[in-house]
Amino acid sequence: MQNIDINDVIGMASLFLFALTLLFPLWGGKFVKLIKYFFKKEAHSELLRTIPINDKNHILLKVQHKRDEVYRLLEEVAMDMNIVIRLYQSSIEEEAWVHCYIGNNENLYKSKASSLKIYIKFLPFHIYEVLIDLNLVTSNNIKEFKNIVFFDKDDIKEILKIMTSDDGKIKFNAQCSNSIRHINSLQKEYVKKTYHILNFFPFSIFYFIYRLMIVKTPLCKVTVGKPAYEPRVLVQLDSWQTVIMDMFSIKDELVKELTLKINSLNIKEENLKVKKEIIDYWGVNGKEEREQLVCIFNRSYVFIHVYPYGNDLYIGWTANLNYGVWEEYKVASGYTNGYIKNIGLYSIEAAWKEVNEYDVNDMSFLLEIVHSNISQILKRIMKEREIDQEIDFSIVRESRTDALKAEKPKEEKSKNKFKRLS
């Protein structure tokens, strides 16, 4: 019997291990699958999940909830500190902000007018998904704070003290995500994960070649999903309005009957929507609040305005085309745990998209439906109440050709985020 040289065994084992490490980046996944097959045990290779596409858990809802929370905290802290502030928030879905203003009326405060602009933004798949930007303006200083992670009552109290101080100096320590304490990186399940052996030279070289030459596109796509509503980039077209004397009392009746008639149309629910919206803004006498009825059909928006002025009633509507759409963009790349599987993480942002003749037809349909129903309701009410007043039901028409040729507006360097888009 021939003796086995131990050196030959070590040499063969070393050669086998070396060959295995060379083939591992290419065949490692198949080995793992083979082990799964024999042991019949499900490995947790899919740590990532696609977020359901609905409005109950969408990231934009978290942003809106944060906006409402900041608004409420500002009200509470200002009331506790006995400070008079002017406060309002965004009403358009894709933008979330809160604006706080402190004036110097009747020398109430020694400082000049101060303002605080708070913008809420989102960064999906990260540890801190909702971040805050501040723009603080006092009598003598202007300062911005970016990517604030935590913003509570103590922070608001400190800022209000700065805004009402004598010198207006800004000394505020924001808890930002770029600090050592709050580094905002990808969540653990989205961090790139590889086998530990591939992290050592020379195996990392083979893995780099494998990634560079073989895997070029993500095999798995993870997205935050699209919300049920579209961002609003509105261009106004047709309109109509009138005033009925001594008829302020029919406001609620008109709005209720019009809503019922539009909802009774035999159109798919997901395409035609009617809802009330509250618009607030600062007028010459302080905060103003208005309610409008909004009819949405695909990319068409008709805003219905019914406002009493003394004993008279103003009724009107404006038809708009929406050029805003959601567009996906890539946030980062990562891997699932277990065997190597490349994935891409995608979020959404507001973008511009031109309309076509079918979108114009949708808008024409919607405005004609709204106008005909308003006309019928008004004629009936005026006949029942024997109101002798001539009403011009002619619609002010705008060019459809201009709507089809509309171009994306150029972004200004200092974008006004507080303009109303409806």
Of 81-90, 188-197, 265-274, the range with the highest mean pLDDT is: 81-90
pLDDT surpassing 50 at residue 65? yes
CB atoms within 10 A of CB 103: 15
User: String of b and e for 182-199 (b: at least 16 CB within 10 Å)?
Assistant: eebebbebbeebeeeebe
Of 1-5, 45-49, 160-164, 185-189, the range with the highest mean pLDDT is: 160-164
pLDDT at residue 394, rounded to an integer: 92
In the CATH scheme, what is the code of domain 234-327+351-404?
3.30.310
Quick one: tokens of 316?
Answer: 């009107």
Phi/psi for 401 (5° steps) reads -65, -40
Query: Any bridge partners for residue 100, and if so which?
Result: 87, 116
pLDDT surpassing 70 at residue 322? yes
Q: In this structure, which amino acid lies at residue 343?
A: I
pLDDT at residue 74, rounded to an integer: 94
Task: Give the tens place of pLDDT for each residue, 226-257.
Answer: 777 888 889 899 999 999 988 888 888 888 88
How far, in Å, CA of 326 to CA of 142, rounded?
33
Angle at 298 between CA 121 and CA 261, to 5 degrees: 115
Of 184-193, 299-308, 396-405, the range with the highest mean pLDDT is: 299-308
Task: Give the tens place of pLDDT for each residue, 375-421.
Answer: 999 999 888 888 888 889 999 998 888 778 777 766 654 444 333 33
Distances (CA, A) of 256 to 119, 240, 294: 36, 20, 13
Task: Give the tens place of pLDDT for each residue, 334-380.
Answer: 665 544 456 778 888 888 898 889 999 999 999 999 999 999 999 99
Angle at 180 between CA 174 and CA 184, to 5 degrees: 80
In terms of pTM, does the model score above 0.75? no
Q: What is the mean pLDDT of residues 179-208?
A: 60
Phi/psi for 83 (5° steps) reads -115, 130
Residue the block writes with tokens 């277990």: 338
How confident is residue 319, by pLDDT bands cut at 50, 70 and 90? very high
Of 53-57, 215-219, 288-292, the range with the highest mean pLDDT is: 288-292
